Structure 1
Amino acid sequence: MRTSKEGFVFIYEKIKNHPVFKNNSTRKQLPISHQLALTLECLGSVGKFVQNFQVGQGTVIGITRRVIEAINYYESYYIKWPNHNRRREIYQVMKEEGFEGCIGFIDGTTFPLYQKPAWQGEVFFNRKKNYSLNAQILCDCDKNVTAITTGWPGSCADSMVYRNMGLFNNPDRFFDKGQFLLADSAYPLNDHLIPAIWAPAANSHINTDFNFCLAKSRVQNEHAIGILKGQWASLIEMRLQLHGKDDIVQYVNWIKACCILHNMLSQLKDSWAELSEE
């Protein structure tokens, strides 16, 4: 369980009154603290099921879904696009790095699946020769996740998923004039996104210097994703079933819960120092 005692208590206090824990059946739920501990163990474990709790697999599934639902209640509180004032703060930080107008970063990542999905398995097969979901993760200069889009098959290109996001199709809702994101060369250049420069143009001296500076700033996003997967290691090999389109929702809920916890614990600076070095 990749959190401190203080972090655990903080999460518990947030979720303990959620109606999902109000049981009207004759079968009592485990104490909420036990359900939370089991769920955090599941979210933070890779390639194995929980071994330290004497409960069956079906019970574990029910518990994790309840706790994830309670955590995801706070999505709009913890995964939120920076408001005007926060964008100005990020703007000032990035101005000092030479990217005046930058308010964040976008990067694609994949969340591997432990087996081929029973539903349309081929479309989840990616260029790294495994089955996965694609995710677009945006973060700020403090490594907080500001937006995430996931649920797309791993075979989808980052640029294609980006073109289906609201910030591409309705940029006025997200950016003030002159504001933009930094990205790698997989993304298209536009008024609100500046990617690294492709070769052969990248080979010129001035463009090489530009790409170096961009990569130095954009590494914040790579670090954020690394911390996310380091703390919530289930994202390294997701062990949910995928038998139909509706099951994608369970994956999305799982991933979003991890991102909410990432931001929630970042406010406490919980476990970040050692994870950022891994």
Structure 2
Amino acid sequence: MFGNDAEILEIVGYGFPKRIYLRRNHFEDLDNLTFFQRFRLTKNAVLNILPLIEEKLEYPTDINNSLSPMDQLLTCLRFYATGGHLSTISDFMGTHVCTSSRIIKNVSIALASLFHAYIKMPTENNIQKIQRDFYNIALFPSIVGCIDGTHIKIQSPGGEDGEIFRNRKGYFSINVQVVGDSDLKVQDIVARWPGSTHDMNIYSNSRIRARLEGGEFRNGIILGDSGYGVGKYLLTPLQNPETAAEKLYNKAHITTRNSVERLCGVWKRRFPILAYGIRLKLATAYAVIVASAVLHNISISMHEEEPPEPDINADEFENLIQVGNIPEVINGDNIQGNVRRNEMINYFNRLL
């Protein structure tokens, strides 16, 4: 037996042994709770996700004991759930290490391709609801999303440009820009910038900035922390609030923006690989990040519970999550942004 999960038979032929992996049916064999713990999604969620990518995972024949789309999806989910070595995933699923590596890449790309269907900024149909939901948090008007950057640890990409992925805390990472709503859904994600890149540089070169400045969201605003420069469509907190209105503005800003920080925490707890670090090639790591965001949004839509903590000390895992937070402060002086922020401060002054 291999890890009590996969049995390997060796059949001698043509002068060398051929390995045949006898695999467990994890979907049928595991009870609902154990399945949820092992794969971070319920069986019901898996059954709803599989048809979305099944055609892309089907093998043309069953030659060489090929894996079914279900087993491929579970292999990928198990990797997201553990962030472990590929050999550990292979032992659990009953596959060769090379097979597991190839499957994780293919399934991640297939899931990431669902990006436009499941990761969306507000539209004409729901923008009022989005703004109302944010308003109900702390009476902050016109908000269509909250933005933050979170670092996902990776192995060194190597090569001439490898060092640009080393962030200010000294480890290699991808600085991922996330815009989220009040339901903790990912509305927009940018997962391609090296860890040394400043949050503001990512935002300045992102499509979401162009869409905001193009008036696509009815003059709506997003909230960001002090790592961003204040702008007409991106409001940041005041560094040194003095008046009662400024303090109320800051309190409402921080309370409302907390939703994106909670989003990143829930996302990483749901898929611990984002906290442990991704030990795959860079292109595959990008796909894993976007794919896990798609799965996170599907989970939120299906009202899935947050999975239990992984089998390590809770404080230790929480520290892993916090490692991705690298606070930065930027002193941006944008005239339109300051005007917009002062308008909001006057609004909160009227609430006093």
Output the TM-score relative to the length of structure 1. Answer: 0.88
How far, CA to CA, are the matches of 2:218 and 2:246 in structure 1?
Answer: 25
- Give the aligned partner of residue 268 of structure 2: 229
CA distance in 2, matches of 1:123, 1:203: 39
In structure 1, distance between residues paired with 2:121 and 2:152: 23
Distance 1:210 1:273 in 2: 35
Q: What one-letter code is carried by the residue in structure 2 that aligns with 1:86?
A: N
Q: Specify the alignment match of 2:289 in structure 1.
A: 255
Distance in 2 of aligned mates of 1:181 and 1:190: 10
Q: Which residue in the other structure is 2:71 paired with?
A: 34
**1:141-198 per-position Cα deviation (integer Å, ceiling 9, x unaligned):** 1111010001111010101100000122343556434310011111111111111122
Name the SS of the counterpart of 1:111 in structure 2: strand
Q: Which amino acid aligns with 2:196?
A: S
Superposed CA RMSD in Å reads: 2.2
Deviation at 1:29, TM superposition (A): 2.3
Note the C-alpha offset of 1:15. 2.1
Amino acid of the structure 2 residue aligned with 1:40: L
Specify whether residues 53 and 19 from structure 1 end up closer, same or farther in structure 2 by C-alpha distance, changes over 3 A only: closer
Alpha-carbon separation, structure 1, partners of 2:121 and 2:63: 42
Farther-moved stretch of structure 1 (219-228 vs 28-37): 28-37
Distance 2:165 2:100 in 1: 26
CA shift at 1:47, angstroms? 4.0
Contact (CA 8 Å) 2:41, 2:307: kept in 1 or not? no
- Return the match for 2:197 from 156, 167, 191: 156
Give 1 or 2 for the bigger CA radius of gyration: 2
Q: Matches of 1:169 and 1:13 in 2, distance apart?
A: 34
- Find the aligned partners of 2:170 and 2:50 in 1 and give their Cα distance: 39
Aligned residue number for residue 245 of structure 1: none
1:64 to 78, 85, 104: 104
In structure 2, relative to structure 1, the CA distance for the partners of 1:134 and 1:178 (3 Å cut) is: same
Q: Which runs of 5+ in 2 are unaligned?
A: 1-38, 319-352
Q: Is the 8 A contact 1:175 1:192 kept in 2?
A: no
Change (3 A) 1:273 1:173: farther
Q: Counterparts of 1:1-278 in structure 2 under 5 Å?
A: 1-16=39-54, 18-23=55-60, 26-49=63-86, 50=89, 51-96=91-136, 97-113=138-154, 115-119=155-159, 120-173=161-214, 175-198=216-239, 201-202=240-241, 205-236=244-275, 237-241=277-281, 248-272=282-306
Counterpart of 1:10 in structure 2: which amino acid? N
Q: Distance in 1 between matches of 2:266 and 2:211?
A: 30
> Which structure 1 segments of 5+ residues have no match?
242-247
TM-score, normalised by the number of residues in structure 2? 0.70
Give yes or no for contact 1:111–1:133 (8 Å, CA) kept in 2. yes
Which protein has greater RCO, CA pairs closer than 8 Å, 6+ apart? 1
Distance 2:243 2:104 in 1: 52
Shift in CA distance, 20/269, structure 1 to aligned 2, threshold 3 Å: same
Q: For the residues of structure 2 that align with 1:172 and 1:85, how far apart are their CA atoms?
A: 20
| Number of matched pairs | 267
